[in-house]
Structure 1
């Protein structure tokens, strides 16, 4: 059996839509702690989430790029092309992505610096 055939059997290819979602959003990495039935499952889910929090700076970098890109497009449409409605659209998305960056930062800080009681 060749290596190419073996890897294609092990990891099925995801559709582009799923890949894009996983590229931008990180919720698929984490387990729901509130869905745990007892303390042991809750602790295991929390430990899993703490381990997965090491990937949050990668998502923060991606979202900071989106924020800068949206802001740059807003400035471009406002100053260069004099398109007020389009610039407002991109400035609004700048605020949305900046809010996403705050959420990612808070989640990363809580998960990396939380103490178990």
Structure 2
């Protein structure tokens, strides 16, 4: 197996940064409220292009939620520990509103026309 060695000047990201970027998408987008008209328009186009990654984030959160739901069910049914299963059910439930926000952002970036 080949080991990736960073080239000179290439920045190595910490595991926590990679984990954050795996689950949260804010780093992909630019602020459309800064700069002059041309810079804001370029930021909007950039954000519309980056919206193609949002379904990937939705899938990640969906699988994460299903995984934690399954863990909660295992803990509740097999280990007979309903109080401890809450530790797994809560992250599972939180994946639903996160997916709703990601879906709203994706639909908004796809349907809202570019600002002038």
TM-score range, shorter chain: 0.7 to 0.9
Q: Count residues with an aligned counterpart.
A: 113
- SS of residue paired to 1:9: coil
Equivalent in the alignment of 2:32: 33
Pairing of 1:1-117 with structure 2 (within 5 A): 8-34=7-33, 36-117=34-115
TM-score, structure 1 as length reference? 0.86
Q: In the aligned structure 2, how far is the partner of 1:71 from the partner of 1:18?
A: 26
- Structure 2, unaligned stretches of length 5 or more? none
Deviation at 1:62, TM superposition (A): 0.8
**Larger fraction in helix:** 1
**After alignment, is 57-66 or 36-45 more displaced?**
36-45
Q: In the aligned structure 1, how far is the partner of 2:55 from the partner of 2:29?
A: 15
Q: In the aligned structure 2, how far is the partner of 1:5 from the partner of 1:93?
A: 34
Q: In the aligned structure 2, how far is the partner of 1:80 from the partner of 1:6?
A: 45
Q: In the aligned structure 2, how far is the partner of 1:71 from the partner of 1:87?
A: 9
Q: In the aligned structure 1, how far is the partner of 2:6 from the partner of 2:80?
A: 51
TM-score, structure 2 as length reference? 0.87
Q: In the aligned structure 1, how far is the partner of 2:88 from the partner of 2:56?
A: 23
Q: In the aligned structure 2, how far is the partner of 1:66 from the partner of 1:5?
A: 28
Runs of 4+ in structure 1 displaced over 6 angstroms?
A: none
Q: CA RMSD in A?
A: 2.0
Q: In the aligned structure 1, how far is the partner of 2:113 from the partner of 2:66?
A: 34
- Structure 1, unaligned stretches of length 5 or more? none
